[in-house]
Amino acid sequence: MGSLSNKRVILGVTGGIAAYKSAELIRCLQGEGAEVRVVMTPAATEFITPLTLQALSGNPVNLELLDTAAEAAMGHIELARWADLILIAPASADFIARLCHGEGNDLLSTVCLASHSPIAIAPAMNKHMWENNATQNNLQQLRAQTVHIFGPATGYQACGDVGEGRMEDPTTLARMTGSLFEKGLLSGKKVVITAGPTREALDPVRYISNHSSGKMGYALAQAAMEAGATTILISGPVQIAPPERVKIIAVESAENMLSAALDELDGTDIFIAAAAVADYRPASVAEQKIKKNDDDMFIQLVKNPDIVATIAAHPKRPLTIGFAAETENLEHYAKQKLQNKKLDLVIANDVSDSTIGFNSDDNRVLLVESGGSKKLPIMNKNLLATRLIEHIASLSKTSQP
């Protein structure tokens, strides 16, 4: 995982012998963390099969502009919107000319026209075609349109000539592509976040739960993803849409949540427990719906496992962060949680104030660490999540060996 963590790249492949290198280029881009979708021109399919590139990219290869089935699945406008970057490699002299003149006569040129994302090209052609005034004029115009031009390299060419015009090698191209993006604060890190309430079943139709909306945990997952982390969100049942590019693991009970967290522990750098886990669960779950026979009913409860404390005590312990929602003595209880659960940071908030906390869009928190406490002003949960991820990224840096 690296400079392209969470980035979506359209790899445009045009007709040239260097198209065989596109297969390896997909691997190199994925190695940097990118998700890759391939768009091929008809000429490209004469050099390498769509099947090869489909198998390597893990996504269907898009070929035709006027294909109803493909347009219904992911059309040219959706593809253009989807991409964070369009990389055309190899870019033939013909495609460079068409791109330069804003033509939209095939799928790839149309996607380029419809996209607001940066475009990079890796020219590949015979050295005389490269040196030709028409090609050089086109390239100059593309540079002026802020198209990035990667290469070409110099060396032996398939036609027997030696000179400028070889496509840059895939590793270099993936590195150059990564350099177009600012490296996120959590690039290359794996972050696991718990969020929402848990549901503790009483019988097949009833459960014990709480009012947690999941907003804070979801906002943290979005911010971690934007900071470049591979982000896993272990979520209890909530009514909000999952953030894009985040792996969601849907759970119900505290026990489900703990086993999901333990399953994900390998390679986790940061664990953030934002879930409102039920402290207790019914000692037994009735197989059938409980009938209302008596005037009183007694439910025996047993304690749930403490998920964040279990993770903090694990030999593969990541940087571990918990929340504390309190109605009084905020700092005092948060410090207790820091020590008792052996956490690196407690994010504490006062839930006695109904304008902030559980279900609201805003939150005001106190950051409690072994070195001291810091109050943050009241702010929207999304902005707060970004601030918290910045703080957590700096803690993660200083806690590294």
Contact segment (CB under 6 A) with ligand C5P among 13-21, 90-98, 316-324, 386-394 equals: 316-324
Task: Give me the numbers of helices (H) and strands (E) for the chain, helices first please.
Answer: 14, 21
**Per CB under 6 A, 273 contacts ligand C5P:** yes
Contact segment (CB under 6 A) with ligand C5P among 25-33, 47-55, 322-330, 364-372 equals: 322-330
**Per CB under 6 A, 323 contacts ligand C5P:** yes
**Tally of CA atoms within 13 A in the half-sphere of 224 that contains its CB:** 27
Whole-angstrom distance, CA of residue 253 vs CA of residue 237 = 9
195: three-class secondary structure by DSSP:
strand
Site string for ligand C5P, 55-94 (x = CB under 6 A): ----------------------------------------
- Which sign, positive or negative, has the C-alpha torsion 101, 104, 108, 113? positive
The amino acid sitting at 63 is L
Cβ-proximal residues to 49 (8 Å cutoff; 6+ apart), any chain: none
Cβ-proximal residues to 107 (8 Å cutoff; 6+ apart), any chain: 39, 41, 62, 63, 64, 65, 76
**Per CB under 6 A, 218 contacts ligand C5P:** no
Instruction: Report in angstroms the alpha-carbon separations of 94 from 133, 151, 152, 239.
Output: 13, 17, 16, 50
Contact segment (CB under 6 A) with ligand C5P among 73-81, 102-110, 305-313, 355-363 equals: 305-313
CB of 367 to ligand C5P, least distance (A): 13
Residues in the chain: 401
Question: Can you tell me which of 10, 96, 307, 312 binds ligand C5P, judged by CB under 6 A?
Answer: 307
**Per CB under 6 A, 365 contacts ligand C5P:** no
**Per CB under 6 A, 271 contacts ligand C5P:** no
The amino acid sitting at 299 is I
CB of 57 to ligand C5P, least distance (A): 37
Number of shown-chain residues binding ligand C5P (CB under 6 A): 13
CB of 211 to ligand C5P, least distance (A): 14
Report residue 119 as tokens: 């475009």
Instruction: Report in angstroms the alpha-carbon separations of 111 from 6, 82, 140.
Output: 21, 10, 21
Whole-angstrom distance, CA of residue 375 vs CA of residue 295 = 49
Query: What is the maximum span of the chain, computed from C-alpha positions, in angstroms?
Result: 94
* Long-range CB contacts for residues 305-308, cutoff 8 Å, separation at least 24: 305/254, 305/255, 305/258, 306/277, 306/341, 307/194, 307/254, 307/257, 307/258, 307/261, 307/273, 307/275, 307/277, 308/194, 308/271, 308/273, 308/341, 308/343
**Per CB under 6 A, 335 contacts ligand C5P:** no
Residues 173-202 that bind ligand C5P (CB under 6 A): 194
**Per CB under 6 A, 277 contacts ligand C5P:** yes
CB of 185 to ligand C5P, least distance (A): 22
**Per CB under 6 A, 220 contacts ligand C5P:** no
Taking only Cα atoms into account, the Rg of the chain, rounded to an integer number of angstroms, comes to: 27
CB of 324 to ligand C5P, least distance (A): 6
Question: Can you tell me which of 121, 254, 265, 388 binds ligand C5P, judged by CB under 6 A?
Answer: 254
Question: Can you tell me which of 235, 304, 349, 396 binds ligand C5P, judged by CB under 6 A?
Answer: 304
Q: Which residues pair with 190 in a beta bridge?
A: 230
The amino acid sitting at 333 is Y
Residue whose CB is less far from ligand C5P, 335 or 337: 337
CB of 254 to ligand C5P, least distance (A): 5
Triad 168, 173, 174: Cα angle to 5°: 155
Residues 105-164 that bind ligand C5P (CB under 6 A): none
CB of 381 to ligand C5P, least distance (A): 16
Residues acting as catalytic residues: 159
Question: Can you tell me which of 275, 330, 345, 367 binds ligand C5P, judged by CB under 6 A?
Answer: 275
**Per CB under 6 A, 306 contacts ligand C5P:** yes
Contact segment (CB under 6 A) with ligand C5P among 13-21, 146-154, 286-294, 304-312 equals: 304-312
Contact segment (CB under 6 A) with ligand C5P among 56-64, 103-111, 269-277, 368-376 equals: 269-277
Residue whose CB is less far from ligand C5P, 121 or 312: 312
Residues that bind ligand C5P (CB under 6 A): 194, 254, 273, 275, 277, 304, 306-308, 322-324, 337
